[in-house]
Structure 1
Amino acid sequence: MIKVSVLYPNNDDNTFDFAYYLDQHMPMVQRLVGDACKGSEVEEGLAGGAPGQPPAYRAAAHMYFDSVEAFQSAFGPHANAILADVPNYTNIAPMLQISAVRA
């Protein structure tokens, strides 16, 4: 099992429309990648580690797939459409990380 994390770094001039992301973008992504996605979750950054410190990430989304190949096969054909939707909810350049789920 792998986890694909899409991370949105936080800074002072970024914007993020969570309503759009949750109601439009993520359902579109789920529909496009289909059953290859075994589950997903979305996080909203609230705070950093020290009192008063802002979160390192404004938002993060995590999607689970059986393998890197399963992710690439499901995502690849739709990558342009998915990425074209990003300006509809944020001005942040997303960062992607693929991780092995160990526990």
Structure 2
Amino acid sequence: MIKVSVLYPNATGATFDHEYYLKTHMALVKERFGPNLLGYSVDRGLAGDDGATPPLYVTQCNLYFESMASLGAVMGAHGGELNADVPNFTNITPVTQLSEVLVDNRP
């Protein structure tokens, strides 16, 4: 299984519209990627226990695909459109990491 992690680093002046991201952007992702997208998760960074330590990332999204071929098929067709939507919800330049999932022990 292939995981695409899209991370939005926290920085002074960073803005992120979680409502738009969840309701509009992720709906677009699901629609465009269709059955090639096995599943996804979206996380919001939290401050540390002391409440003063800001999160390293404002938001993180993980997208799961069966193979690099299934990822490549949808990214080639729709990656540009999805990237063009980023300024609608954030001024952060996302960082992307591709990973091979070796163990998935989620319930």
Instruction: Decide: shared fold, TM above 0.5.
Output: yes
SS in 1 for 2:32: helix
> Is there any run of 5+ residues in structure 2 with no aligned partner, and where?
none
Match of 1:46 in 2: 46
Following superposition, the deviation at residue 3 of structure 1 comes to: 0.7
Worse-matched range after superposition: 74-83 or 10-19: 74-83
Paired AA for residue 84 in structure 1: A
SS in 1 for 2:83: helix
Does residue 1:76 correspond to 2:76, yes or no?
Answer: yes
Following superposition, the deviation at residue 57 of structure 1 comes to: 0.3
Match of 2:102 in 1: 102
> Is there any run of 5+ residues in structure 1 with no aligned partner, and where?
none
Match of 2:30 in 1: 30
Would you say how many aligned residue pairs link Structure 1 and Structure 2? Answer: 102
Identity of aligned residues (%): 45
Summarize deviations over 1:10-44 as a string: whole Å, max 9, x none.
01110000000000000101100110000001000
**Deviation above 3 Å: which 4+ runs of structure 1?**
none
Does residue 1:93 correspond to 2:86, yes or no?
Answer: no
Q: Could you state the TM-score of these two structures normalised by the residue count of structure 2?
A: 0.90
Match of 1:19 in 2: 19
| Distance across 2 between alignment mates of 1:47 and 1:63 | 24
